[in-house]
Amino acid sequence: MRLFLLAASSLALFDSLGRHVLRNWDEAIYGEIAKEMLTRHTWLTPTFDFRPWLEKPPAFMWITALSFRLFGISEISFRAFGALCAVATVWLTFEIGRRLVDDWGGFFAAIVLLTNGYFLYIGRFGSTDMPLTCCLALVAYGYLRVRQGNPRWWYAVAAAMGIAIMIKGAAAADAPLALCLALAIDRRLHQLRSRQLLRPALLACAIVLPWHLAMLVQHGRVFLNQYIGYQVVTRATSQIEGHAEPAYFYLLEYWNFFLLFALLALVGLFLHLKGQRNSSIVVSFALVVTVAFSLAGTKLYTYVVPAFPFIALLAMLAVRRLLTSAPYILMSAAILFPLYWFFQTTESPNPFQVNYSASYIPPGPIASRNDPLMRLLMQANASAASQAPTPLIVCFNDLLIEKQQLLFYSGRPVVETFFGAAPDDSRESPYWNPMPLAMAVGPGSYPVILPVGAYRELAFSGRYTLQFVAQDGPLILGQIARQ
């Protein structure tokens, strides 16, 4: 069973992993931070656009930068860590299930998870959500091993919680909350005061505190405003970045993601309430993750991905109670129902295509390596210095393109500009802050990407000197300087 799950999950998660370019949210952000760590040696203070970026802890970017160093900077080396975490999560789900019930139960839960389309999508998407999911699954597995008489697993629990915080920040607080709830359900809260938890707690502190204290000393209020003020308080109390959803949003999404197994997970919850007490840690994680993010003001699909292994395990508990004598029926159900969702899920990189015409369309990230803008970015990257490259000026009057992908694929700081009327857009985003072209062009010469029509207009304006470098479709890469 382990070999089958390892082979199947590796094939599903690593096949054509580098097919798509990095998405604007959040892949190109984390990828750029990791690349700047590697090329500029900014390992302690993460930087984005060559400026400090203090919104999240750096563990995910540290590991990604190490992957870049070992295997080169590419989409595959960026996404490999998340895919590995997804494979480990499937394996941990099997191990938790077999300790709760038996081998067939663990295999059932792992198959439910592995055939879930959204789980596979997030596993192939470079973000912090899948590493966090893996850490929470490890916390649950370690707790079960402690319950079964091996207190040394408290160290694994503590290490997993510390790493989770260093990956996702405050969102990882679900782990200690769920652990405390499980101890309360098991009537073992007194263990929190036991001396055997002192050293594991010190281990967690040793993982979490050094970087946070260093950032507090080095950046002070700026760190608190970005790390706590915006990423925790504002997201928890307000609906930001357009993600306004009702409180029951995640309950509906569980149905969309799991279909029948969402109802079976609810049955598994009721079975626990009726006396199946060995599943307390599974129930705790499912409830804490769901309730915590349902109460938050900002809601995203990815926030509840850490609950997926525990929903699969709750569904397993229900099905094993109903069909204990027919494992082949369990396997059939586990494969057929999630596949219904899986085959409806497409991995479309972008619903919009960039249109370089003069008419305004909704903004969208670059969807393909064959995009003219992408090819010119790669050409600009070939001439970029590693430590302090000259900023790349991107000049569009009527097209809103955020800078995440531009930064990663050009290897340069990016300045978004316009030379006519200011773009009519009211977004408050650190990734979209255009300025007039005259303010961006200082002394010296700068690489610039702009439409053919704008190139001609600026060349005859009498204010700039333009040198042609390359043309790709409707766009030109050149050098711009003031006259």
> Residue 370's pLDDT band (boundaries 50, 70, 90)?
confident
- State the pTM of this model: 0.90
Paired with 307 in beta bridges are none
Q: What is the pLDDT of residue 312?
A: 94
| CA nearest to 478, candidates 451, 449, 456 | 449
Q: What is the pLDDT of residue 115?
A: 86
Length of the chain (residues): 483
Q: What is the pLDDT of residue 386?
A: 57
Where does 345-443 have alpha helices with state H? 372-382, 404-410, 437-440
Contact 185, 280 (CB under 8 A): yes
> Residue 359's pLDDT band (boundaries 50, 70, 90)?
very low
| pLDDT tens digits along 283-298 | 999 999 999 988 887 7
Neighbours of 318 (CB within 10 A): 20
Query: What whole-number distance in Å separates Cα of residue 408 and Cα of residue 253?
Result: 32
| CA nearest to 127, candidates 312, 323, 306 | 306
Is the backbone of residue 467 left (phi > 0), alpha (psi -120 to 50) or beta?
beta
* Cis preceding-peptide flag for 26 (omega within 30 of 0): yes
Output the six-digit token pair for 353.
């295509």
Contact 211, 166 (CB under 8 A): yes
DSSP string, 341-352: HHTT----S-SS
Q: By three-state DSSP, how is residue 276 classified?
A: coil
Contact 57, 112 (CB under 8 A): no
Higher pLDDT residue, 324 or 340? Answer: 324
Burial pattern 388-424, b for ≥16 Cβ within 10 A else e, equals: ebbbbbbbbbbbbbbbbbbbbbbbbbbbbbbbeeebe
Query: Does residue 337 surpass a pLDDT of 80?
Result: no
The tokens 């840690």 sit on which residue?
281
Query: What whole-number distance in Å separates Cα of residue 409 and Cα of residue 42?
Result: 19
Q: What is the pLDDT of residue 257?
A: 85
| CA nearest to 165, candidates 155, 152, 176 | 176
| CA nearest to 415, candidates 428, 433, 429, 430 | 433
Q: What is the pLDDT of residue 296?
A: 83
Output the six-digit token pair for 247.
């409180």
Output the six-digit token pair for 299.
């809601």
| CA nearest to 44, candidates 222, 213, 220 | 213
Contact 119, 305 (CB under 8 A): yes
Average pLDDT rounded to a whole number, residues 439-457:
89
Q: What is the pLDDT of residue 401?
A: 77
Q: What is the pLDDT of residue 106?
A: 92
Output the six-digit token pair for 4.
């089958």
Q: What is the pLDDT of residue 360?
A: 34
Q: What is the pLDDT of residue 363?
A: 45
| pLDDT tens digits along 31-79 | 999 999 998 888 999 999 889 999 999 999 999 999 999 999 999 999 9
- Top mean pLDDT of 146-160, 375-389, 415-429 is at 146-160
Question: What dihedral angle (degrees, nearest 10) is formed by the CA atoms of 269, 272, 277, 283?
Answer: 10
User: How are beta strands 392-395 and 446-451 bridged, if at all?
Assistant: parallel
